[in-house]
């Protein structure tokens, strides 16, 4: 069975794929110091707790944090006796082209989202991922990753305000009732929430303009539903788009490598 690992700058998600569906998904904070032994204790405990008794034979990793890959490789070797596929490494084949400036190391999560989105919807897509950063990945008609946009993430924007301004507290994102905030927290939430609604609309409109064609907008990441409930920003939301993309890349490598 496949263990798919999506390692972002804030959180790392482990999912087990049985070939048809994900039978378990667990999340931990991303820390490059975490050792293979620590991962194993954590994962095996959670698997036992959910009575998931399966043998992991394959592993695929997407990591936006290069340093964590070493210990995940040790995990694969020591506990599962397998060599992981690492997205972005030369020996990992991708079922889509990447058309960007020479020397650009595109984030593996963006490549995986491109593959996952293309598999589910075909081409001419904008994939919006609300993680540590908010990324827009532009997928051409033939499924290639042709570039995109990187904006500061929602939580990062709120944290930046808190850190840089002595009188601004730590605030969690929420949809404000009105645009005009009548207290500090409401003002901050309004700036980030409505600012983000505008950001998403403007960027998507400009991408469509530059491409001069209609494009489907799909979203993923924990905060996408919060925005979707207000305005019709996206055509579709997929909670596990990155994980889906990892299973597609794994299958492609098994068949072609």
Ligand X SMILES: CC(C)(CO)[C@@H](O)C(=O)NCCC(=O)O
Ligand Y SMILES: Nc1ncnc2c1ncn2[C@@H]1O[C@H](COP(=O)(O)OP(=O)(O)OP(=O)(O)O)[C@@H](O)[C@H]1O
Exposed/middle/buried for residue 166 (C-beta within 10 Å: 0-12, 13-18, 19+): exposed
User: Which position among 46, 120, 149, 226 is part of the footprint of ligand Y (CB under 6 A)?
Assistant: 226
Q: How far apart are CA 255 and CA 257, in angstroms?
A: 6
Specify the residue, 144 or 200, whose C-beta has the smaller distance to ligand Y: 200
Of 71, 53, 51, give the one whose Cα is nearest residue 5.
Answer: 71
From residue 101 to residue 140, the character string flagging contacts with ligand Y as x (rule: CB under 6 A) and all else as - is: -----------------------------xxx--------
Phi, psi of 74 (to 5 degrees): -65, -40
Q: Is 109 a catalytic residue?
A: yes
Question: Does the footprint of ligand Y cover residue 221 (CB under 6 A)?
Answer: yes
From residue 71 to residue 90, the character string flagging contacts with ligand Y as x (rule: CB under 6 A) and all else as - is: --------------------
Q: How far apart are CA 237 and CA 56, in angstroms?
A: 29
Question: Does the footprint of K ion cover residue 131 (CB under 5 A)?
Answer: yes
Phi, psi of 53 (to 5 degrees): -115, 85
Percentages of the chain per state (helix, strand, coil), in multiples of 5: 40, 25, 40
Residue tagged active-site, from 109, 119, 124, 137: 109
Stretch that binds K ion, among 63-71, 128-136, 153-161, 180-188 (CB under 5 A): 128-136
Specify the residue, 8 or 176, whose C-beta has the smaller distance to K ion: 8
From residue 11 to residue 30, the character string flagging contacts with ligand Y as x (rule: CB under 6 A) and all else as - is: x-------------------
For residue 149, CA distances in Å to 6, 138, 170, 190, 207 come to 20, 8, 27, 23, 9
User: Which position among 2, 7, 8, 245 is part of the footprint of K ion (CB under 5 A)?
Assistant: 8
Specify the residue, 119 or 129, whose C-beta has the smaller distance to K ion: 129
Whether 18 and 72 have beta carbons less than 8 Å apart is answered as: no
Which residues are annotated as catalytic? 109
Note the residues at the interface with ligand Y (CB under 6 A).
8-11, 130-132, 172-173, 221-223, 226
């Amino acid at each position: 069975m496949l263990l798919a690992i999506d390692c972002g700058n804030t959180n790392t998600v482990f999912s087990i794929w049985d070939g048809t569906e994900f039978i378990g998904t667990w999340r931990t904070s991303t820390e490059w110091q975490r050792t293979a032994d620590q991962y194993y204790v954590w994962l095996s405990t959670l698997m036992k707790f959910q009575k998931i008794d399966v043998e992991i034979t394959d592993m695929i990793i997407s990591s936006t944090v290069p340093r964590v890959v070493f210990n995940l490789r040790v995990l694969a070797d020591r506990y599962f006796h397998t060599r992981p596929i690492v997205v972005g490494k030369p020996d990992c084949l991708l079922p889509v082209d990447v058309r960007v400036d020479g020397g650009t190391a595109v984030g593996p999560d963006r490549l995986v989202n491109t593959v996952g989105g293309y598999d589910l919807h075909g081409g001419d897509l904008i994939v919006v991922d609300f993680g540590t950063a908010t990324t827009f990945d532009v997928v051409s008609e033939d499924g290639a990753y042709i570039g995109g946009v990187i904006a500061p993430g929602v939580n990062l924007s709120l944290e930046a305000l808190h850190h840089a301004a002595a009188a601004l507290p730590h605030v969690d994102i929420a949809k404000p009732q009105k645009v005009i905030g009548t207290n500090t927290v409401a003002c901050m939430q309004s700036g980030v929430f409505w600012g983000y609604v505008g950001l998403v609309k403007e960027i998507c409109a400009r991408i469509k303009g530059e491409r001069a064609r209609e494009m489907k907008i799909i979203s993923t990441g924990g905060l996408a539903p919060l925005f979707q409930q207000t305005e019709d920003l996206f055509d579709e939301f997929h909670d596990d788009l990155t994980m889906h993309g990892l299973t597609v890349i794994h299958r492609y490598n098994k068949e072609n490598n």
